[in-house]
């Protein structure tokens, strides 16, 4: 049972991507994926796990899908689909490796014919395997809104019969931005999971890095290099970001000897390479910021002046409220908590960050450092209200207890 | 996660169907419940009698009052429900779209909310 669960985590994304290509229908493919794993749960304990579980699951899913279409074939139009699906679904034998369809699927999900908000939501769900509810949290949005975007995006793909393929080189650059943004969001959800019990969901980070490497191999655009640099640098600190009991360890308190230095070296070199090409993408600037953090031997040797300057640059490339929030934190480190607090409060007044847990916890932290305990308590409470994730909840509760004593 | 699919219909959802079609429709509905069961999604379901058969109960100042259902004048009413288990909202939507009544009425998909334990701080 736990073996099957591990295979689900490792393979479900790629099995689904292949089933979507074969069955040309998201809903039918999801149903087939579900059926395939039910069949695995039933058969594998008796027969053992097959040598190539991914191929087995694809094959079982395809078979179940055709079986279902047949059983539901009360209407002539569906009956006609059977023949077509069977023709398209000619599968290689189990021994043959199946091409990785994830990258192909990302480009379909990020097709310019799909509304921008739908592209990202669809990719996060279909490629990264996030639930509607997790995507809503990652987007600071509501579940019904995200659910509708996904339904509309799937309808659009069906309506226009969009192909499942990586675009030709002449179209690739135009299509790349949306894909990079999606990979970035997948990583973010893994880096600080919004739901569940674990603070970091390493498999989402690994998935984002894997997809980004594939993309770089396909087309080494500076923006893609910058993103890969950023992901590698952030991911390099993961062993030190969570304590032995699963609690969050802030950057300043991390055991830096546990960072992954070869990965930091790779990320820093990529960031430098990406920085050399103008105009510098937002991801590249973020990577440069991460490289400054990773280059500091101890927390108090961090070059906050350089980081604040990079945030000024980043805010010009990406004028988002979340970037402005991070810049405020950097300025608080450079000029003191009072200066940062003024900026954060101005941001909260604008309203876009009211449901964003980090805005409240950053404000709370600065209030705490200024000794304004009552206000800090209210702000931590506000942060707690928007935290769906256990380790973060414990961290904030710890801070609240610290205030009381 | 569990989701409750609430089936809303007009006063006479089958008015446009022949008796044979109506029987087929009922067969489809039963089969779909079975299909949901085989895939591990089904928890429970039922159809509901007409709103005219309903009684509204409340207690105010220790006194029980029972009155007629308030829905007799409205066009749409709750005709039945299916409780399902789904991975997320979009899987629940996909499963709800397969409910035969979705073709005659509308299905409202509501996530089940776990009431936090009031005694746990």
Nearest CA in chain B to A121: B90
Contact yes or no for A147 and B91 at CB 8 A: no
pLDDT at A73 over 90: no
pLDDT at A89 over 80: no
Looking at residue A182, its pLDDT comes to 84
Contact yes or no for A143 and B40 at CB 8 A: no
Least confident among A95-109, A235-249, A348-362: A95-109
The mean pLDDT of chain A is 86
Number of Cβ pairs < 8 A linking chain A and chain B: 33
Regarding the domain with residue range A316-405, which homologous superfamily does it belong to in the CATH classification?
Tetratricopeptide repeat domain (1.25.40.10)
- CB proximity list for A274: less than 8 A, separation 6 or greater: A222, A223, A225, A226, A229, A280, A281, A283, A284, A287
Note down the domain range covering B95. 2-109
Contact yes or no for A146 and B89 at CB 8 A: yes
- Global pTM? 0.71
Please tell me whether the peptide bond between A218 and the residue prior to it is cis, using omega within 30 degrees of 0.
Answer: no
Distances in Å between the alpha carbon of A123 and those of A17, A119, A179, A272, B67? 11, 6, 9, 29, 51
Per residue, the 3-state secondary structure of chain A, as one string, reads: CHHHHHHHHHHHHHHHHHHHHHHCCHHHHHHHHHHHHHHHHHHHHHHCCCCCHHHHHHHHHHHHHHHHHHHHCCCHHHHHHHHHHHHHCCCCCCCCCCCCCHHHHHHHHCCCCCCHHHHHHHHHHHCCCCCHHHHHHHCCCCHHHHHHHHHHHHHHHHHHCCCCCCCCHHHHHHHHHHHHHHHHHHHHHHHCCCEECCCCCHHHHHHHHHHHHHHHHHCCCHHHHHHHHHHHHHHCCHHHHECCCCCECCHHHCCHHHCCHHHHHHHHHHHHHHHCCCCCCHHHHHHHHHHHHHHCCCHHHCCHHHHHHHHHHHHHHCCCHHHHHHHHHHHHHHHCHHHHHHHHHHHHHHCCCCCCHHHHHHHHHHHHHCCCHHHHHHHHHHHHHCCEEHHHHHHHHHHHHHHHC
Looking at residue A93, its pLDDT comes to 42
Looking at residue A352, its pLDDT comes to 86
Chain B residues close to A144, C-beta within 8 Å: 89
In a domain, B63, yes or no: yes
pLDDT at A91 over 50: no
What band does A99 get if pLDDT is binned at 50, 70 and 90?
A: low
Chain A residues close to B91, C-beta within 8 Å: 30
Percent of chain B surpassing pLDDT 90: 63
Contact yes or no for B40 and A38 at CB 8 A: yes
pLDDT at A169 over 80: no
Distances in Å between the alpha carbon of A144 and those of A151, B45, B109? 10, 23, 10
In a domain, B118, yes or no: no
pLDDT at A76 over 50: no
What band does A97 get if pLDDT is binned at 50, 70 and 90?
A: very low
Mean pLDDT over B66-75 rounds to 71
Give contacts of A 313-332 with B, CB under 8 A.
none
In a domain, B19, yes or no: yes
pLDDT at A245 over 70: yes
Tell me: ipTM over 0.90.
no
Percent of chain A surpassing pLDDT 90: 53
Looking at residue A81, its pLDDT comes to 59
Contact yes or no for B89 and A125 at CB 8 A: no
Burial of A250 (0-12, 13-18, 19+ CB in 10 A): exposed
Looking at residue B116, its pLDDT comes to 82
Chain A residues close to B39, C-beta within 8 Å: 31, 34-35, 38
| B117 three-state secondary structure | coil
pLDDT at A262 over 90: yes
Looking at residue A43, its pLDDT comes to 93
Percent of chain A surpassing pLDDT 70: 89
Looking at residue A80, its pLDDT comes to 57
Q: What is the CATH number of the domain that holds B92?
A: 3.30.70.1060
**Maximum mean pLDDT: which of A113-117, A161-165, B30-34, B47-51:** B30-34
In a domain, B119, yes or no: no
Tell me, yes or no, if A142 comes closer than 8 A to chain B by beta carbon: no
pLDDT at A2 over 70: no
Looking at residue A405, its pLDDT comes to 57
**Maximum mean pLDDT: which of A169-173, A235-239, B2-6:** B2-6
Delimit the domains of chain A by residue range: 2-99, 100-216, 220-238+257-302, 316-405
Contact yes or no for A147 and B90 at CB 8 A: yes
Least confident among A108-122, A189-203, B16-30: A189-203
pLDDT higher at A270 or B69:
A270
Condensed to tens digits (0 to 9), the pLDDT of residues A49-62 reads 999 999 999 999 99
Mean pLDDT over A59-86 rounds to 71
Mean pLDDT over B42-49 rounds to 94
Least confident among A234-243, A322-331, B49-58, B112-121: B112-121
What band does A103 get if pLDDT is binned at 50, 70 and 90?
A: confident
Looking at residue B97, its pLDDT comes to 96
Chain B residues close to A146, C-beta within 8 Å: 89
Least confident among A50-59, A373-382, A396-405: A396-405
Condensed to tens digits (0 to 9), the pLDDT of residues A355-371 reads 898 999 999 999 999 99
Nearest CA in chain B to A35: B39
Question: What are the φ and ψ backbone dihedral angles of B104, each rounded to 5 degrees?
Answer: -110, -30
pLDDT at A96 over 90: no
Count of domains observed in chain B: 1
């Amino acid at each position: 049972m736990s073996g099957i669960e591990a295979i689900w985590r490792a393979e479900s994304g790629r099995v689904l991507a292949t089933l979507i290509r074969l069955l040309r229908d998201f809903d039918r493919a999801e149903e087939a994926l579900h059926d395939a794993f039910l069949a695995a749960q039933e058969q594998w304990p008796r027969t053992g796990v097959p040598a190539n579980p991914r191929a087995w699951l694809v094959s079982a899913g395809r078979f179940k899908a055709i079986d279902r279409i047949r059983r539901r074939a009360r209407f002539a139009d569906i009956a006609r689909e059977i023949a077509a699906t069977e023709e398209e679904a000619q599968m290689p034998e189990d021994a043959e490796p199946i091409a990785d369809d994830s990258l192909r699927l990302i480009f379909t999900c990020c097709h310019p014919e799909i509304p921008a908000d739908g592209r990202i939501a669809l990719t996060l769900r279909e490629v990264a395997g996030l639930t509607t509810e997790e995507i809503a949290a990652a987007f600071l949005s509501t579940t019904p809104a995200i659910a509708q975007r996904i339904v509309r995006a799937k309808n659009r793909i069906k309506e226009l019969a969009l192909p499942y393929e990586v675009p030709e080189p002449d179209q690739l650059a135009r299509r790349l931005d949306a894909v990079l943004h999606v990979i970035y969001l997948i990583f973010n959800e893994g880096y600080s999971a919004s739901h569940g019990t674990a603070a970091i969901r390493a498999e989402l980070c690994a998935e984002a890095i894997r997809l980004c490497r594939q993309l770089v191999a396909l087309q080494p655009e500076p923006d893609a290099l910058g993103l890969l640099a950023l992901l590698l640098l952030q991911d390099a600190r993961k062993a030190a970001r969570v304590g032995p009991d699963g609690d969050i360890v802030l950057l300043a308190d991390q055991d830096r000897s546990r960072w992954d230095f070869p990965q930091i070296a790779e990320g820093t070199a990529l960031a430098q390479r990406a920085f050399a090409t103008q105009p510098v993408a937002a991801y590249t600037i973020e990577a440069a910021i991460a490289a400054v953090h990773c280059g500091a031997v101890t927390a108090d040797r961090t070059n906050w002046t350089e980081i604040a300057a990079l945030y000024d640059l980043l805010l010009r490339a990406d004028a988002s409220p979340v970037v402005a929030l991070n810049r405020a934190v950097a300025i608080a480190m450079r000029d003191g908590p009072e200066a940062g607090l003024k900026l954060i409060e101005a941001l909260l007044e604008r309203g876009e960050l009211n449901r964003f847990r980090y805005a409240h916890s950053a404000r709370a932290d600065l209030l705490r450092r200024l000794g304004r305990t009552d206000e800090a308590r209210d702000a931590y409470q506000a942060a707690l209200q928007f935290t769906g994730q256990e380790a973060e909840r414990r961290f904030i509760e710890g801070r609240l207890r610290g205030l009381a004593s | 996660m569990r989701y409750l699919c609430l089936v809303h219909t007009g006063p006479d959802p089958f008015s446009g169907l022949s008796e044979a079609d109506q029987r087929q429709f009922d067969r489809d509905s039963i089969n779909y419940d079975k299909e949901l069961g085989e895939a591990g999604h089904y928890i429970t379901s039922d159809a509901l009698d007409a709103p005219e058969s309903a009684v509204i109960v409340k207690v105010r100042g220790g006194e029980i009052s029972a009155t007629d259902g308030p829905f007799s004048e409205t066009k749409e009413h709750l005709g039945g429900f299916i409780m399902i288990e789904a991975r997320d909202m979009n899987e629940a939507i996909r499963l709800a779209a397969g409910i035969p009544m979705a073709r005659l009425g509308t299905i409202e998909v509501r996530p089940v909310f776990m009431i936090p334990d009031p005694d746990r701080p």
